[in-house]
A and B are shown apart, each in its own frame.
Chain A
């Protein structure tokens, strides 16, 4: 089912948690809503499920207006963060619940329900747990049961709220690839919420990055990694070093920094900020360099030099020790930028408000990202 969301807004009291959301999700797509806590991603998921209602906007699934349909008639599979399994029912009854509460006329026969539950238990690789109570299961097992219960109603859309949030790292990795295979086999349009970048990029076809109630960027892992659409995304994706630069004829320059490897961009002349990951900066020994090595630490594989700039600012960079030049404290270097992103909205010395869209960087949200 294709989901079309337009200009969705939602406030809780005076706190506006969704400030106009536009997304188009394609049929059978697996989408991750990624963002820090408080970015509104869970609220968006709950609105799609019908557990919360927006103040304004549109929500259409295959052309049908879902804002006029109650949660129980939407036929969505919702997996709750803490699973919300019914504690007095066995695993089998939990999974069967969605089928047994259907109106009598549509309800499948007992034998049909039992067969379907058995199939699902096989599919989820938990047939041996059929008669246990939820209280007797581990976190990962509960997660599987919760997903089974959601899949049992043949949902139009599968929604998962922090599906792996409460699990330990090993179980998390297991379930991640397992969820991908479940999605591929069931071919259900799926949206899941997470604050874990690895999880989002590894699992999803496209990732929606949210910050403070707005969508910052929609795209694949590579697109978002290489071309962050806003300073917020750049910081969120690990570009923690912000260097003030000047733009002249589309080229960024700064004293003591070698920016030759950065492509020319169609940017207005003037002040701008270059966002770089610590691994994308190489200190090159240069007697005339304006940066000084303050100290060098090594993790064995990586060197972590701390460098002091001409204006006294300290930055920490990361280079592969194998490929590193000889660096020692007090040495003069020039910084070579391997790759980075320039934003003009943040004048040097004044941190821009993350998540505020600028004219230059705001991407047309409904335009499909290739």
Chain B
């Protein structure tokens, strides 16, 4: 007697794998991938010489310099403030903690133009902060500090939300162990807590930096947009577009894209690193 060999198809617990994956891929392609490819093609299509000429023009370089400088300073500020904020939210019980926690998401939810308007009116010479600051000789609006403040505002939740869950998961016994072994509070922080949260922290900082570099809405209101002084790269791309200089716009956009992808790559490397210790230690 022979038994026909029938291939048995393994059944998945949830049906519809092909359909759901297909939908996801289509969505990713239409919304994310194709626009990026189009941008790369249009940026690359202008030829190397013109590309370099647009890139190295004084106005483009100035805009990139302002953008990177402001974003870097904003990221440094966010790194410290965001860490502190995450620390306060996870380590202490106090009235209004939940409210503060919810407030952290406002920069995510608020239209950036609204944020830009609010900040501008606060820091203008007639505003609550701007008046006293101007009296001290510090110009915020229509200057680099204004750009930095706008970037800080919109990107700080990235750091807080990256560090917070890792801090929450940290076993309090680790700190107690360090204490019983004779470590000072600073040694406990630098040798035990910081290494544990470092990958998440740096990951959050890089995403925050990426967001800062691309920030547009909040910055254009407060920056004043003086070419060569307070004009940021994404605004320059917008101006080029309005001048019907599509190529110029896509060159600048392409540069911003490269920066963003690099930062995302770095952020993901940090996350891989963070996963290394995750299973152990408890």
Is B182 touching A87 in the complex (CB atoms < 8 A)?
no
Is A97 touching B178 in the complex (CB atoms < 8 A)?
yes
Please report the C-alpha to C-alpha distance between residue A129 and residue B266 in the assembled complex, in whole angstroms: 32
Please report the C-alpha to C-alpha distance between residue A98 and residue B195 in the assembled complex, in whole angstroms: 17
Which residue of chain A has the shortest Cβ distance to B183 in the bound complex? A101
Please report the C-alpha to C-alpha distance between residue A88 and residue B281 in the assembled complex, in whole angstroms: 8
Which of B177, B179, B192, B282 has most chain A Cβ within 10 Å?
B177
Is A72 touching B280 in the complex (CB atoms < 8 A)?
no
A101/B182 contact (C-beta < 8 A), A82-B171, A86-B192, A88-B277 known = yes
Is B180 touching A76 in the complex (CB atoms < 8 A)?
yes
Is B181 touching A80 in the complex (CB atoms < 8 A)?
no
Please, how many residues of chain B have a CB less than 8 angstroms from a CB on the other chain? 23
Is B180 touching A51 in the complex (CB atoms < 8 A)?
yes
> Inside 8 A of A84's CB, which chain B residues have their CB?
171, 173-174, 176-177
Is B196 touching A102 in the complex (CB atoms < 8 A)?
no
Is B191 touching A101 in the complex (CB atoms < 8 A)?
yes
A244 within 8 A of B: no
Please report the C-alpha to C-alpha distance between residue A97 and residue B192 in the assembled complex, in whole angstroms: 10
> Inside 8 A of B181's CB, which chain A residues have their CB?
72, 97-98, 101, 149-150, 153
Is A101 touching B179 in the complex (CB atoms < 8 A)?
no
**In angstroms, how far is the closest chain B Cβ from the Cβ of A228?**
35
Which of A76, A85, A137 has most chain B Cβ within 10 Å?
A85
> Inside 8 A of B174's CB, which chain A residues have their CB?
84, 86
A136 within 8 A of B: yes
Per-residue B-contact encoding for A90-134, CB less than 8 Å = 1, 0 else: 000000011001100000000000000000000000000000011
> Inside 8 A of A81's CB, which chain B residues have their CB?
173
Please report the C-alpha to C-alpha distance between residue A49 and residue B176 in the assembled complex, in whole angstroms: 10
A49/B280 contact (C-beta < 8 A), A86-B174, A88-B195 known = no
B184 within 8 A of A: yes
Please report the C-alpha to C-alpha distance between residue A150 and residue B184 in the assembled complex, in whole angstroms: 17
> Inside 8 A of B29's CB, which chain A residues have their CB?
none
Q: Total contacts A to B, CB within 8 angstroms? A: 85
Contact of B280 among A135, A149, A150 (CB under 8 A): A135
Is B281 touching A101 in the complex (CB atoms < 8 A)?
no
Is B281 touching A72 in the complex (CB atoms < 8 A)?
no
B56 within 8 A of A: no
Is A51 touching B176 in the complex (CB atoms < 8 A)?
yes
Please report the C-alpha to C-alpha distance between residue A139 and residue B280 in the assembled complex, in whole angstroms: 11
B279 within 8 A of A: yes
Is B196 touching A87 in the complex (CB atoms < 8 A)?
yes
A77/B182 contact (C-beta < 8 A), A86-B281, A87-B277, A88-B195 known = no
* Interface residue ranges of B4-19 to A (CB < 8 Å): none
Please report the C-alpha to C-alpha distance between residue A83 and residue B173 in the assembled complex, in whole angstroms: 8
**In angstroms, how far is the closest chain B Cβ from the Cβ of A76?**
6
B187 within 8 A of A: yes
Please report the C-alpha to C-alpha distance between residue A102 and residue B179 in the assembled complex, in whole angstroms: 11
Which residue of chain B has the shortest Cβ distance to A97 in the bound complex? B181
A219 within 8 A of B: no
A54 within 8 A of B: no
Please report the C-alpha to C-alpha distance between residue A50 and residue B277 in the assembled complex, in whole angstroms: 29
* Interface residue ranges of B174-205 to A (CB < 8 Å): 174, 176-184, 187, 191-192, 195-196
Contact of B179 among A72, A77, A133, A153 (CB under 8 A): A72
> Inside 8 A of B187's CB, which chain A residues have their CB?
101
Contact of A98 among B182, B192, B278, B279 (CB under 8 A): B182
Please report the C-alpha to C-alpha distance between residue A150 and residue B173 in the assembled complex, in whole angstroms: 14
Which residue of chain B has the shortest Cβ distance to A80 in the bound complex? B173
6 more A-B contacts (CB under 8 A) besides A82-B282, A97-B178, A98-B182? A72-B182, A101-B178, A101-B183, A133-B277, A136-B280, A153-B181
Chain A to chain B contacts (Cβ below 8 Å), 13 pairs: A72-B180, A75-B182, A77-B180, A85-B281, A87-B280, A98-B182, A101-B181, A101-B183, A133-B280, A133-B281, A135-B277, A135-B278, A153-B181
Residue ranges of A at the interface with B (Cβ–Cβ < 8 Å): 49-51, 71-78, 80-88, 97-98, 101-102, 133-137, 149-150, 153
